[in-house]
Amino acid sequence: MVNLVTAQKPLVAGFLKLAGLKSQVVEIEEGTVMHFWLPKKRKSNKKAAKPAVVLVHGFAAEGTATWQFQASSLSKKFDVYIPDLIFFGEHSVSRRPERGPEFQAECLVKALKLLGVERCGMVGFSYGGMVASRIAASHPDLVGALVLSGSVPAMTDSLSDATLQRLGFTSSSELLLPNHIKGLKALLSVAVHRKLWFPDRLYRDYLEAMFTNRKEREELLEALVKGKKEADSIKFSQNVLLLWGEDDQIFKMELAKSITEKLGDKASFQGIKKAGHLVQLERPCKYNRKLKQFLIEHL
């Protein structure tokens, strides 16, 4: 029987190709490769080239599933790069034992340099925002502007425990790595503003298509939580936008405003009404307008 989620991938790939992107696997080092959707043609004249924007996905889906509504909109003014982080998607894998967000950040930075990206804006959603934050803090020469959506610069043990308790989950794996339809429905119910209905077959196909490399992803979750001191050490020199769904139940809007205040004068917050954690999928037009405006101003 055809997997309905997998069957849609060629259609999404077709839209990305129409937006001027192509699929490419980058060998970062022996045993470590990362898949990208990236510009088909990159101009050699740096002054004529578009600014680069890197879109970093969350934990429950690969790059194209997360950013399918942003690629075409952004590609008119930017060179768009959509990576699949290590152990996400079909082609991004590594034999290395590291699992923390700094490992993902290191791999992504190396891949971007191999692709010739010297300066970019970075947009991170949820888990991807934590990876993007690591890169922005440690590579200010590479990242000219940072956007976080439904994310925090680093996940602390206290924030993780409080979030899971409030949502009614016992562990991050239970929330973010469901292994049955009931668990996936529970994840979706806290991730969106509007309650959605899908047939059970679609949930089953999504579990099969998107939740691969389970052992490695469990290890990624275990390595995600950091101590408060380490989390507080992440500082940004860039302009930072926290672009949020106002009904985000995973990372509340009040948390986003608190982070914005803590980051100081270079940080700003913009909320989008009638949107939850998956704000870029629920309200793509509003999200894209606000995102493009910030990137045009700061890249």
Domain boundaries, the chain: 4-39+50-298
Q: Which two tokens stand for residue 149?
A: 């959506």
- Other Cβ atoms within 10 Å of 152 Cβ, number: 22
pLDDT of residue 1: 79
Q: Looking at the domain covering 4-39+50-298, what would its CATH class be?
A: alpha beta
pLDDT of residue 227: 75
User: Facing residues of 269 across strands?
Assistant: 242
DSSP-assigned letter for residue 265: T
DSSP-assigned letter for residue 43: -
CB 146 within 8 A of CB 176: no
Q: Report which of 257, 253, 224, 60 is spatially closest to residue 134, judged by C-alpha positions.
A: 224
CB 214 within 8 A of CB 177: yes
Residues of the chain whose pLDDT is less than 50?
45
CB 132 within 8 A of CB 148: yes
Q: Which two tokens stand for residue 167?
A: 């949502």
* Whole-angstrom distance, CA of residue 120 vs CA of residue 289: 19
Give Rg (Cα) of the chain: 18
> Which pLDDT tens digit goes with each residue over 81-124?
999 999 999 899 999 999 999 999 999 999 999 999 999 999 99
Residue 212, judged by CB atoms within 10 A of its CB (0-12, 13-18, 19+), counts as middle
- Other Cβ atoms within 10 Å of 114 Cβ, number: 13
CB 104 within 8 A of CB 85: yes
Q: Which two tokens stand for residue 91?
A: 């082609």
